[in-house]
A and B are shown apart, each in its own frame.
Chain A
């Protein structure tokens, strides 16, 4: 069975600073990896996903993530955050051949002016 750990429940940061949200997973088979964002009072929406190929994945709103197989990590980064990036971020893993992803507990990104 797979699992996802988001190491930080909350990450406060000042506007225009860089940010990294951490995600580690465990799985004995190949996986697909996803980052979703949830703005207040909304559903989750896809930021980016890793399926195969280049380990650096670029998503919407200037976010990117790097798949590191040896460290089983898929950390999300943004070089300069905006107030509007304040939201909950979820990492998810999907076993190849499965249809049901496993979501992490989420990381609350709080951007201060």
Chain B
């Protein structure tokens, strides 16, 4: 299996621009998570999907952030407009629902720099 795939791996953009991060979960996994990692705040959960439905988006910072999962094999995280404080590494992770003991499989991350 190819594992969780994220693109792009690196993104540099200017403040105010729209940024779209992409994730392909492991085939057969039905849970998907978006995380943000910074030195200051550590690993933060942004949003959790189960069977393509957003279940918990309480970690989404503000209205500038949005996430979608149109099908079981694709998810996007969009930031519009981007700000310098959004600079971070964004991880996508997937797991399979086995009644609560799921191991999460992380992608390699997207390193975002907003100038």
Q: Interface on A for B, CB 8 Å cutoff?
A: 32, 34, 36, 41-46, 49, 51, 90, 94-101, 103-106
Query: Does B1 interact with chain A (Cβ within 8 Å)?
Result: no
CA of A101 to CA of B59, assembled, Å: 13
A90, B31: Cβ atoms closer than 8 Å: no
B108, A106: Cβ atoms closer than 8 Å: no
Contact of B106 (CB < 8 Å), options: A41, A45, A51: A45
A105, B108: Cβ atoms closer than 8 Å: no
Contact of B48 (CB < 8 Å), options: A36, A41, A43, A99: A99
Q: Interface on B for A, CB 8 Å cutoff?
A: 4, 31, 33, 42-43, 45, 48, 50, 55-56, 91, 93, 97, 100-109
A100, B45: Cβ atoms closer than 8 Å: yes
B100, A32: Cβ atoms closer than 8 Å: yes
A94, B100: Cβ atoms closer than 8 Å: yes
Instruction: Report the nearest B residue to A42, measured CB to CB.
Output: B108
On chain B, the residues within 8 Å of A96 by CB distance are 100-101
Given A43-B108, A99-B50: A105 and B42 interface contact (C-beta under 8 Å): yes
A99, B31: Cβ atoms closer than 8 Å: yes
Given A100-B48, A103-B42, A106-B43: A49 and B100 interface contact (C-beta under 8 Å): no
- Nearest-neighbour CB distance to chain A for B111, whole angstroms, equals 8
On chain B, the residues within 8 Å of A34 by CB distance are 103
- Nearest-neighbour CB distance to chain A for B36, whole angstroms, equals 12
**Sorted from nearest, which 8 A-B pairs have the closest CB atoms?**
A43-B106, A44-B106, A105-B42, A103-B43, A32-B101, A46-B103, A51-B101, A43-B108
Instruction: Report the nearest B residue to A44, measured CB to CB.
Output: B106
On chain B, the residues within 8 Å of A49 by CB distance are 101, 103
Some 25 contacts from A to B, beta carbons below 8 A apart, are A32-B100, A36-B106, A43-B91, A43-B93, A43-B106, A43-B107, A43-B108, A43-B109, A44-B93, A46-B103, A49-B101, A49-B103, A90-B43, A94-B102, A95-B100, A99-B31, A99-B48, A99-B50, A99-B102, A100-B45, A100-B56, A103-B42, A103-B43, A105-B42, A106-B42
